[in-house]
Amino acid sequence: MADLSKEQLLKMYKKMVLIRKFEDRIGEIYGKGAIPGEMHLSTGQEAVNVGVCIQLRPTDTVAATHRAHGALIAKGVNLNKMTAELFGREAGLCKGKGGHMHLFDPSIKFSCSGIVGASMPLAAGAALAAKRKGTDDVAVAFFGDGAANQGTFHESMNLAALWKLPEIFICEDNQFGISVRKEASTSVISNADRAASYGIPGVQVDGNDVIAVYEAVKAAIERARGGGGPTLIECKTYRIKGHFEGDPEVYKTKEEQEEWLKKDPIKRFTDMLLSRGDITQGELNDLDRDVKNEIEEAIKFAEESPWPKAEEALEDVFVNGGVD
């Protein structure tokens, strides 16, 4: 199973379960009106998030989308601070001012945005900085199949290819751009095919198979760190929930949802782990309990954290001091 040890596989399992259970609890709490703003959950896309981020360094940059909880957890966020930010509390990553679509953690070089397609040029900038500094750090841009029709997709890929930037483009093809199917908006069957236009590798993988994602990204990271330039990886997955919490999902059929639920990435990975013979259900159950406790501690931390003071609303708007 790739070059992964038992310990690494269990870490991947725990991260995937943590993302799923966290999203489930946040969706439940959001439904009670305890979290401000909108809410976009990444349920079902855990294999992409973990398969990518589990092999990144803290110094590698990740620029993500409005559906970013999974990627941020996989990158190694402090869950207490992330949860407090969702609740709009002062102890949050951005002092409660950014909320769920504007999560930023410089300690692990992570950012996200509510602007569709914004991740790609931001990651290109980070990749250019890494190249000019002479490091072998990489930058990863997560984006959806809908964002692949934005100008930023083509502009960023062209620039990254031209300058051989260490950028990895991760297209999470979850079948829908809000409520629009890809075949109704995109002229090519696979976005991975578009990589040929820029002379770089384009790879399509099963986004519900965490090992397949891991192996494709591993090759892309090695290429990027070695100066070979960018790679586009299209991960075929499924957004189990709606575009946002409260979405009636009338654009989905019952039959398609049932088919995709059979491909649940966590169920598939669990079966794979148990088939190895050196991982037991008891070990997985222990990790499940650890995850539940970690989530409840984070929610308690968030609920007990104070709200930002009204007079702080205009703080943190500008950087203090001049620009070097």
Phi, psi of 63 (to 5 degrees): -115, 120
Catalytic residue status for 251? yes
Q: Are 87 and 305 in contact (CB under 8 A)?
A: yes
Angle between helices 281-304 and 79-86 (to 10 degrees): 50
The dihedral sign for the CA sequence 233, 151, 46, 177: negative
Catalytic pick among 57, 243, 276, 289: 243
Spatial distance between the Cα atoms of 235 and 186, rounded to a whole number of angstroms = 16
* Given the residues 57, 102, 154, 251, the one annotated as active site: 251
Catalytic residue, candidates 20, 239, 268, 276 = 239
Number of helical (H) and strand (E) elements in the chain, helices listed first: 10, 9
243: annotated active-site residue: yes
For the chain, state the CA radius of gyration: 19
238 is annotated as an active-site residue: no
Sheet with 61-64: strands ordered across:
104-105, 110-112, 61-64, 139-144, 167-173, 231-236, 202-206
In sequence order, which residues have a C-beta less than 8 Å from that of residue 8 and are 6 or more positions away?
A: 54
List, by residue number, the catalytic residues: 239, 243, 251
